[in-house]
Amino acid sequence: MEIQHFSWNLDKTTIKGNVWTTDNPPKGVVALVHGFGEHIDRYQHVAEYFNTRDIALIGYDQRGHGKTNGKRGHVHPYEHLLNDVDRLLQETKNRFPGVPIILYGHSWGGNTVSNYILKKEVLPLVGVVLSSPWLRLAFEPPKLQVLLGKLVGKFLPGMTQPNNLDSAELSNDQEVGKAYDTDPLVHGQVSVATFFGAHNGGNWALENASKLTVDTLIMHGTADKITSHEASKEFAQKAGDKATLQLWEGLRHETHNEIKKDEVLKFVADWIVTKLA
């Protein structure tokens, strides 16, 4: 497996990404959009497993994340995120001509991907994976904090504050949380505009899930205290036969980093392979 690097310049932002090519000719390629606060290098082990199944992986550090420049935790307007997915898919088609594409979004990335696939009339995809998507949070933010955030957001949309993520809730494997806390490319900030962009985007995706036109695997751990697995169930129910729901009993937010990650990754790859036939 070989790792290649690329960059794009969009809206005065230099977006940096990775391509993990396969040892054998790829049967498919996963275009991945990562979650909030993290970066694409955290998916190295995912790429390594997909390589064993002849599936390539491509992804980028989102704006204000990882090696991509921009204010940490601030992306505004929300449409920038959708434009970045457009650019990712174009890069994917250029690098892997004729190879089937699966779009994969985790957490905040799942929020973006769900909006993207519901808003685009033509999708160059054979399938989509939504991993612990941020459709709703697993907890209710304090109403006063939400109200103040909306007021402040009108005047200072780029104002950031700590996101208060408990890294212990990422996985039952506590080494995952420890590595997250010491990773210099991880950040813990979120802007008012970015939070409400995702909040509104998640609600919109739930309201419009019945419009889903592409086969989509939705995975969520039932012990996720960050994003709501009940919202994933609701999305799948509204989407009907285009959606496949996989709930992982007792797993937390990052199912691909769980103690049972080998089982999770095999399940995902098996599902992807069925879409490549």
CATH of residue 187's domain is 3.40.50.1820
Does the annotation mark 253 as catalytic? yes
Q: What are the helix and strand counts (H, E) for the chain?
A: 8, 10
**In Å, what is the CA distance from 66 to each residue of 12, 70, 73, 190, 210?**
16, 10, 10, 14, 34
Whole-number pLDDT of residue 201: 98
Whole-number pLDDT of residue 156: 81
Does the annotation mark 224 as catalytic? yes
- Residue 77: what are its φ and ψ, rounded to 5°? -80, 170
Whole-number pLDDT of residue 166: 97
Whole-number pLDDT of residue 153: 66
Task: Print the domain residue range for 214.
Answer: 2-276
C-alpha–C-alpha distance, residues 222 and 53, integer Å: 27
Q: What is the pLDDT of residues 24-74, one digit of tens each?
A: 999 999 999 999 999 999 999 999 999 999 999 999 999 999 999 999 999
Whole-number pLDDT of residue 147: 72
Does the annotation mark 187 as catalytic? no
DSSP 23: S
pLDDT over threshold 80, residue 141: no
pTM score:
0.96
Q: What is the mean pLDDT of residues 106-111?
A: 99
Catalytic residue among 114, 224, 228, 256: 224
Whole-number pLDDT of residue 276: 96
pLDDT over threshold 70, residue 149: no
pLDDT over threshold 70, residue 145: no
Whole-number pLDDT of residue 157: 86
Whole-number pLDDT of residue 120: 92
Whole-number pLDDT of residue 140: 82
Whole-number pLDDT of residue 155: 73
Catalytic residue among 34, 65, 187, 253: 253
Q: What is the mean pLDDT of residues 149-165?
A: 81
Q: What is the mean pLDDT of residues 233-253?
A: 99
Whole-number pLDDT of residue 159: 87
Q: What is the mean pLDDT of residues 236-264?
A: 99
Whole-number pLDDT of residue 52: 97
Catalytic residue among 74, 107, 131, 229: 107
The percent of residues in the chain predicted with pLDDT above 90, rounded, is: 90
Please give the tally of structural domains in the chain.
1
Whole-number pLDDT of residue 161: 87
Nearest to 90, CA basis, from 45, 60, 130: 60
Whole-number pLDDT of residue 232: 99
